[in-house]
A = this chain, B = another copy of it.
Amino acid sequence: MRILGLDPGSRITGIGIIDGERLIHAESLRLGDGPMPERLGRIFVEVGSLIERFRPDIAAVETVFMSRNAQAAIKLGQARGAAVCAAVAAGLEVHEYAPRAVKQAIVGRGGAAKEQVQHMIRVLLKLSEVPAEDAADALAVALCHLHTAQTAARLPAGLVMR
C-alpha cells in the first residue's frame, strides 16, 4: 500500500510518501509570503503533481488541533483545504487522524515529544538522517495510516476498529 501523508501549513506544507515502510518521497514545500490564493494554488498544484508522479493509493492527514489564535487557524485551515482537495480531486480517499493517534501509532504513547516521533520515523523507515520537521510530520501521519490499516487487516472479519 502506497500512502501519501500531508502536513499542510500556509508557509510550509510537508509531504511524505511511503510504500509499506519504504520511503518514496519527502519534501517541505515552501510557500513564501505572497497572496493566500497563490499559496493555496501552489499547494493544490504541487500535491496534485506528486500524486500523478508517485501514484499513492490513499492519503492521510492530521486533524488540526487547537491553534494559537483564530487568524492562524484560518490560514492553517485554508492550507489544509487545498491539500485535501488535491487528494480528493485525484480520486484518493482521505483519512484523518488526531495528533494523539499519530503519536500513539509511531511511538506508542499519545503524549510523545516531537523528537521521539522524528527518531522513530528515522528508525522505521531506515533513514540515515532525520527528515526536515514538516516532511517528518507528513511521514508520521502516513505511517499512522499504515499501522492502523495493518492492525485492521489482522482483526477477524467483521470486526472493525474505529
What is the interface of chain A, defined by CB distance below 8 A to chain B? 35-37, 40-41, 43-45, 61, 64, 66-82, 84-89, 94, 96
Contacts and interface: CB of A to CB of B under 8 A. Distances in A.
Contacts of A87: 37
Contact of A78 (B66, B69, B71, B81): B81
9 contacts: A35-B96, A36-B84, A37-B61, A66-B70, A70-B72, A74-B80, A77-B78, A82-B84, A89-B89
A5 to B, nearest CB: 14
Contacts of A35: 96
A132 to B, nearest CB: 23
Nearest to A64: B74
